[in-house]
Amino acid sequence: MDNRNISAGQPVAVQVCYAETDRQIMIDMTVAEGTRLIDAIRQSGIEKELSITVKEGQVGIFGKKKTFDTVLGEGDRIEIYRPLAATPQELRRRRLQNGNNA
């Protein structure tokens, strides 16, 4: 586990994740008890590493959208969402236009 930051208080193990079509980034880290979701993202350095800015509404924990002020718990997996290249409806429309009903 990569302990990027341990502050005062009980340590809490979390993971910050981001996925693109060709790669996944998962950063295991330890934060202080009571750490907010946005603070863990900033402490992870993922925004700087990927040259992205995480915005409210683009984050969640285990597939459920959360606010920046969400207090993290032991084992939480913070997920940073990116915009879809196409909506599911658009993908179905394209498949039908190409004669593929799958």
Residue 4 lies in a domain: no
Question: Does position 6 have pLDDT exceeding 80, yes or no?
Answer: no
Q: What is the Cα–Cα distance from 55 to 67, expressed in whole angstroms? A: 10
pLDDT band at 29 (very low <50, low <70, confident <90, very high): very high
CATH number of the domain within which 33 lies: 3.10.20.30
Domain, as residue range, for 29: 11-97
Number of domains in the chain: 1
pTM for the predicted model, two decimal places? 0.73
Residue 16 lies in a domain: yes
DSSP class of residue 70 equals: P
Q: What is the pLDDT of residues 34-92, one digit of tens each?
A: 999 999 999 999 999 988 899 999 999 999 999 999 999 999 999 999 876 777 788 78
Residue 71 lies in a domain: yes
Q: How many CB atoms lie within 10 A of CB 96?
A: 10
Q: Write down the pLDDT at residue 1.
A: 42
- Of 61, 58, 59, the residue nearest 76 (C-alpha): 61
User: 3-class DSSP state for residue 12?
Assistant: strand
